[in-house]
């Protein structure tokens, strides 16, 4: 009886301990970049998975059969550029947004004017943010990996930023309350706090 109770306790506590360890913050200046999952974590109704994005996931999955986190990141960034190519969001220089194209797409996807505006402003903010990140050491390393596949980091930086913003600032009723989305949001909050107080 006593042993059974102990076993039950171990079974209950072990996952919590493991989860705590798995999500223990590993923070550095690229903590937002290295949250590999956020790009395909669609946690807010306002920013849903597009068919262009899904098509590109399938296409790039065939090209990059990833096994490591690094390879997965390469795969995600190529998927992002592929998606921005298909939606015609990406400027010819591959490091700018075609804003009228973004606006048109948002007007097709969303009904509420305030939602359209929120997301549109997020794209504008994330374009600047992505350009700021390009000279970072970690991003340059990533860029070298991507170039082997003919991909550029800018679109992925924008998409990741948009995904992060939509996870952090989603209107509460539209946030997907899944364990994965909650965990990602907690990680991002810690990362943002870290970046805020770093300097
Ligand atoms: C996106 O389009 C550009 C310009 O045509 C091309 O160079 C690049 O390889 C494309 N990226 C992907 C991931 O398909």
45: CA distance to ligand 1 center in Å? 28
CA distances in angstroms from 26 to 74, 149, 159, 187, listed in the order given: 20, 28, 22, 9
104 pLDDT tier (thresholds 50, 70, 90): very high
- Cβ of 78 closer than 6 Å to ligand 1, yes or no, is yes
Q: Are 164 and 35 in contact (CB under 8 A)?
A: yes
- Cβ of 52 closer than 6 Å to ligand 1, yes or no, is no
Q: Are 106 and 119 in contact (CB under 8 A)?
A: yes
Of 33, 46, 67, 64, nearest in space to 139 by CA: 33
Ordered domains of the chain (ranges, CATH): 28-198 (1.10.238)
150: CA distance to ligand 1 center in Å? 7
Q: What is the pLDDT of residues 158-187, one digit of tens each?
A: 999 999 999 999 999 999 999 999 999 998
Q: What is the pLDDT of residues 38-73, one digit of tens each?
A: 787 889 999 988 999 999 999 999 999 999 989 999
- Cβ of 81 closer than 6 Å to ligand 1, yes or no, is yes
Percent of the chain with pLDDT over 70: 83
Of 176, 160, 36, 159, nearest in space to 102 by CA: 159
pLDDT at 84 over 50: yes
- Nearest-atom number in ligand 1 for the CA of 78 is 13
- Nearest-atom number in ligand 1 for the CA of 84 is 1
CA distances in angstroms from 8 to 15, 17, 21, 39, listed in the order given: 12, 14, 20, 37
pLDDT at 115 over 50: yes
């Amino acid at each position: 009886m006593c042993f059974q109770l102990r076993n039950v306790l171990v079974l209950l506590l072990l996952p919590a301990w493991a989860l705590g360890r798995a999500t223990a913050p590993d923070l550095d200046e690229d903590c937002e970049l290295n949250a590999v999952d956020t790009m395909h974590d669609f946690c807010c109704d306002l920013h849903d998975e597009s068919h262009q994005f899904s098509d590109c996931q399938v296409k790039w999955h065939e090209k990059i059969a990833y096994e490591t986190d690094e390879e997965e990141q390469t795969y995600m960034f190529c998927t992002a550029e592929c998606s921005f190519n298909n939606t015609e969001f990406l400027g010819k220089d591959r490091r700018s947004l075609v804003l009228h194209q973004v606006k048109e797409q948002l007007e097709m996807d969303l009904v509420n004017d305030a939602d359209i505006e929120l997301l549109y402003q997020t794209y504008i903010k994330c374009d600047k943010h992505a350009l700021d990140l390009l000279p970072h050491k970690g991003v340059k390393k990533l860029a070298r990996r991507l170039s082997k596949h003919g991909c550029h980091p800018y679109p992925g930086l924008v998409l990741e930023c948009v995904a992060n913003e939509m996870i952090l600032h989603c209107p509460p009723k539209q946030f997907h309350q899944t364990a994965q989305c909650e965990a990602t949001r907690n990680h991002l909050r810690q990362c943002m706090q870290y970046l805020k107080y770093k300097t």
